[in-house]
Amino acid sequence: MMFENIPILTILLILPLLGGIIAFFMGERAKLAKMFALAVSAVTLIIATVLMFDFFGLGSGLFGNYQYVEDYTWVSQLGISYILGVDGISMPMVWLTALMSLVAILFSWDITNRTSQYMGLMLILEAGVLGVFMFLDYFLFYVFWEVVLIPMYFLIAIWGGPRRDYASIKFFIFTHVASLVMLLGIFALYFQAAGALGHSTFDMREIASVAGGFDIAFQTIVFGALLFGFITKMPMVPLHTWLPDAHVEAPTAGSVLLAALLLKMGSYGIIRIAMPTLPGAWDINAGAYVVAEFPGLTWMQVIMLTLGIVSMLYGAVMCLAQKDIKKMVAYSSISHMGGVMLAFATFTQIGLAAGVFMMFAHGLITGVLFMMCGVLQHKTGTRMIPRLGGLAAKMPKAATVMMIGFMASLGLPGLVGFVAELGIFTSTFVAFNWLLLLPIMSVALTAAYYIWAMQRVLFGPLTKDIDLEHLHDLSWYEAAPLYILVAFIVGFGLFPSLIMDYITPAVLKVLMGGF
């Protein structure tokens, strides 16, 4: 362990936060702000990478425990502490956050409007997401959860498309209302735990240690409140309509971070907080409410698997109808996050592991997809699929990257999405048998919308609807982040155990009811 006496997680958190504030006030020095933001995010990524290797060196026996924990009491009267820690679930997410922030900043190199503020917000956003993935104290977790909202709101409202006002307000209200319901759940836990413990605390670990003994009705209601907050963020049908609008209006890098990181906060919340803290809501052995007709199935499982399957299929079918390719990619996120939800609903080790792996894989892949939407918009002036066509002849590099992204997203083996998908379906069968036949239809639907979109955008005769003057292949600041992501998509696709080995021991602990 390299970081025995170094508060490494605090450094990881403070770096982008301070960097962001500094960049925000750089004013007219656009070039400097860009270089500075890139440097800060690069250093953050390097630290996260070193941390991940160091973490791996601890041996898989320790991946289920929190490592590098920093625990300081902050406001003792209210039980607020400053607790940071990572385990096998959050470590890949932390690294993903650092990576996606770097590529998003790189991809934003052509930003000319209020550049320094833009870069500042990107870094603050990174810090916010890192905080969510690392804090083990409900108070600061919630604060950072909300902190994430602000930069994203401004990214859409200032640098967004024509309907940015509508989209940004919608994004804000949806996620904020959901957050408040979640907050309600957190307070319920806080007060109830205070009774059981004899002192007030926001420490997740301490609350989890007693919450399993709470009344089943109480646990179920609180789980429901937390779940409401999380599924709005993921988002699950029918609370999803903010997402396509937000994506369509958001600037490309904003979309990348929104889909790759912000959606993951929702599913992360389920597996980090709701599941291990409140086993009485879902675990038969803990006494959760069981469906009378299907002994072995709890009501919470039924709710979660319904949300998951409906979102998977609904999202996939919606993709087929979309004319705006960015909207299609947005709906595909709903479909894939539905897969995460379904995997979680199985409450098996393979399911939880596949769900977390899907979060990671989807983060990488969706980054490529949204960047490609940005490339199309930039080069052709439109994202409308019917107006495009035959682009592979003019921009072969872009076409290749887009194809790899699409193939990865539809679960082609050898690319990172496959193992996640396989795990999701295997766990679905383990837990629900023939119910597998429903969600697995999404495999065919996903192929259908991607392959069809590819045919209409890349193949066929070159379109005559657009001005081809400016049509050239990827610029360096587009190629670099795309190639980086493609390299990881292939790399982790060929060697999925590099990430999966962190996850499996950690999710086992969640299933055992350990925090």
Partner 1 sequence: MDYTGLFELAWIIPILPIISFLIVGFLGQKIKGRGGIIAVGLVAAAMVLSLTIAYAALTGGLPEQGYFEQSFNWVVLGSDFTIQMGIYIDAVTALMLIVVSFVATLVVIYSLGYMHDEGDRRRRYFTEISLFVGVMLGLVLANNFLELFIFWELVGLCSYLLIGFWFEKPSAASAAKKAFLVTRVGDVMFLIGLVIIFNLFHSTSYSTIFSPEEIAGVDQTWLMWGVFFMFGGAIGKSAQFPLHDWLPDAMEGPTTVSALIHAATMVKAGVYLVARMFPLLVHAENVMLLIAVIGGVTAFMAATMALNSPNIKRVLAYSTISQLGYMFLALGAGGYMFALGLEEGNEELMVAGSLGFAAGMFHLMNHAFFKALLFLSAGSVIHYVHTEEMAKMGGLRKHMKVTSLVMLIGSLSIAGIVPLSGFWSKDLILETVWEGRLDSIIFLGLYVLAVLTAFMTAFYMFRMWFLTFAGEEGEATKHAAAHHDEHHVDSHGSDEHDHKESHGHHEAPWVMLAPLIVLAILAIGSGFALFIGSGFTSVIYFEIPYTHDAGYWLEKFFWGESSFLTYISLAAAVLGIALAYFTFYKKRVDAPAIASKPAVKPLYNMLLKRYGFTKGYDYVGEKIVYGFSLALDWFDRKIIDGLVNGFSKLIQRSGAGLRRAQTGFVQTYAGVVAGGAVAMMLLLFFLLKLLGIEVHP
Segment 126 to 185, residues that bind partner 1, using CB under 8 A: 146, 150, 153, 157, 165, 169-170, 172-173, 176, 180, 183-184
- Is residue 475 part of the contact set for partner 1 (CB under 8 A)? no
Member of 11, 440, 484, 490 binding partner 1 (CB under 8 A): 440
Q: Which residue number, 256 or 445, has a Cβ lying nearer to partner 1?
A: 445
**Among the residue ranges 10-18, 188-196, 259-267, 300-308, the one whose residues contact partner 1 (CB under 8 A):** 188-196
Least separation, in Å, of the C-beta of 312 and partner 1? 13
Structure token pair of residue 458: 């890349």
Total residues at interface with partner 1 (CB under 8 A): 76
DSSP per position, 325-370: HHHHHHHHHHHHHHHHHHHHHH-SHHHHHHHHHHHHHHHHHHHHHH
Residue type, 424: I
- Is residue 471 part of the contact set for partner 1 (CB under 8 A)? no
In the region spanning residues 82 to 121, those forming contacts with partner 1, defined by CB under 8 A, are none
In angstroms, the CA 478 to CA 476 distance is: 5
Least separation, in Å, of the C-beta of 19 and partner 1? 20
Structure token pair of residue 254: 């904003």
Using the 8-state DSSP alphabet, how is residue 385 labeled? Answer: G
In the region spanning residues 233 to 272, those forming contacts with partner 1, defined by CB under 8 A, are 237-238, 241
Q: Which residue number, 119 or 186, has a Cβ lying nearer to partner 1?
A: 186
Q: Which residue number, 8 or 457, has a Cβ lying nearer to partner 1?
A: 457
In angstroms, the CA 270 to CA 192 distance is: 20
Least separation, in Å, of the C-beta of 292 and partner 1? 24
- Is residue 512 part of the contact set for partner 1 (CB under 8 A)? no
In angstroms, the CA 407 to CA 390 distance is: 18
- Is residue 445 part of the contact set for partner 1 (CB under 8 A)? yes
Beta-carbon contacts of residue 358 (< 8 Å; ≥ 6 apart): 336, 339, 340, 343, 417, 420, 421, 423, 424
Member of 317, 435, 484, 490 binding partner 1 (CB under 8 A): 317
In angstroms, the CA 177 to CA 197 distance is: 30
Identify whether 238 is preceded by a cis peptide bond (ω within 30 of 0).
Answer: yes
In the region spanning residues 416 to 435, those forming contacts with partner 1, defined by CB under 8 A, are 418-419, 422-423, 425-426, 429-430
- Is residue 484 part of the contact set for partner 1 (CB under 8 A)? no
Least separation, in Å, of the C-beta of 367 and partner 1? 21
Phi and psi, residue 298, nearest 5° = -95, 160
Least separation, in Å, of the C-beta of 512 and partner 1? 12
Phi and psi, residue 310, nearest 5° = -60, -45
Using the 8-state DSSP alphabet, how is residue 232 labeled? Answer: H
Member of 11, 443, 468, 490 binding partner 1 (CB under 8 A): 443
Structure token pair of residue 406: 């699409």
In angstroms, the CA 437 to CA 358 distance is: 20
Least separation, in Å, of the C-beta of 110 and partner 1? 27
- Is residue 296 part of the contact set for partner 1 (CB under 8 A)? no
73 in helix, strand or coil? Answer: strand
- The mark string for 348-367 relative to partner 1 (x by CB under 8 A, - otherwise) is xxx--xx-------------
